[in-house]
Amino acid sequence: MLVRLAHETDLAGFRREARALLARRVPPDRVSWSAGPCNDDLFADEAAPEAEVPESGVTVPTGFLELCHTVALHSEPQRFALLYRLLWRLVHEPALRHDPLDADMMQARQMAQAVQRDMHKMHAFVRFRQVPDGAATDPLHVAWFEPDHHIVEANAPWFRRRFANMRWAILTPRAASNGTGASCTSAPARVARMRRRPMPARRCGSRTTRASSTRRG
């Protein structure tokens, strides 16, 4: 059975679908998950027409929900399958919640770690450069960053908190976040425009290295 989620990091959709699947007692090896437009499994069946599912009252440890939030940002296509398998096992194997060394659990934790490392890299290596912005009095701060996972939106609030009163935009191959106003909008059109003009990532960094040499590591 194929379950389709609205976008790459659609955790709310995953939770809704997973609850429904659990209520219908669909084991994890009979479900395949697809997030985003183009990575469908060729041999999967379409999902059965959705019936209204009563609240199943599944409870999981609070730590698991946090883990889901992070793992959902990973770029691994099987991430939702892993999460559903863990959820299934948490419901059916009560001992799992006390076992920090379980193989599935370890894998999920390692994926979460990779995501967190990537998020940290974004905090650590984004370097803004000032560009004049037409009539505006204060300059726009622009940065280019290439993340490994789907972390841009999750990281935007951190930049908004740090540079609350500054006009900035971070451009990435997949999305852009900007902190000009209170809200963060994805602006794919703008990214495309910036990418057509050559804007090497290196130059953003090298502008900032006069005081002490900065390098990616």
Partner 1 sequence: VDLQAKLAILADAAKYDASCASSGGVRRDSTQGRGLGSNEGTGICHSYAPDGRCISLLKILLTNYCRYDCLYCVNRASSNVPRARFGIDEVVRLTLDFYRRNCIEGLFLSSGIIRSPDYTMEQVVEVARRLREEHDFRGYIHLKTIPDAAPELLQRAGRYADRLSINIELPTEQGLAQLAPEKDVAAIRRSMARLRVHIDDAKEEAAQAQARPVVSLPQARPARARPASFAAAGQSTQMIVGADATDDATILSTSAQLYGAYRLKRVYYSAFSPIPDASAALPLKAPPLVREHRLYQADWLMRFYGFAADEIASPHAGGMLRLEVDPKLAWALAHPERFPVDLNRAPRELLLRVPGLGVKAVDRLLLARRVRRLRSDDLQRLHVPLRKVLPFVVLPDHRPARSSEPLRLAASPRVAQQAALF
List contacts with partner 1 (CB under 8 A). 95, 98-101, 103, 106, 120, 123-130, 141, 143, 158, 160-166, 207-217
Whose Cβ is closer to partner 1: residue 18's or residue 204's? 204
Closest approach of partner 1 to the CB of residue 133, in Å: 14
Can you read off the two tokens belonging to residue 151? 């972390």
Whose Cβ is closer to partner 1: residue 5's or residue 140's? 140
C-alpha dihedral sign at 216, 69, 109, 25:
negative
What are the DSSP calls for 80-133, one per residue?
A: HHHHHHHHHHHHH-GGGGG-TT-HHHHHHHHHHHHHHHHHHHHHHH---EEE--
- Residue from 9, 35, 3, 14 nearest 175 by CA: 9
Closest approach of partner 1 to the CB of residue 119, in Å: 8
Closest approach of partner 1 to the CB of residue 118, in Å: 12
Closest approach of partner 1 to the CB of residue 200, in Å: 17
Whose Cβ is closer to partner 1: residue 6's or residue 106's? 106
CA distance 146 to 149: 9
Whose Cβ is closer to partner 1: residue 107's or residue 186's? 107
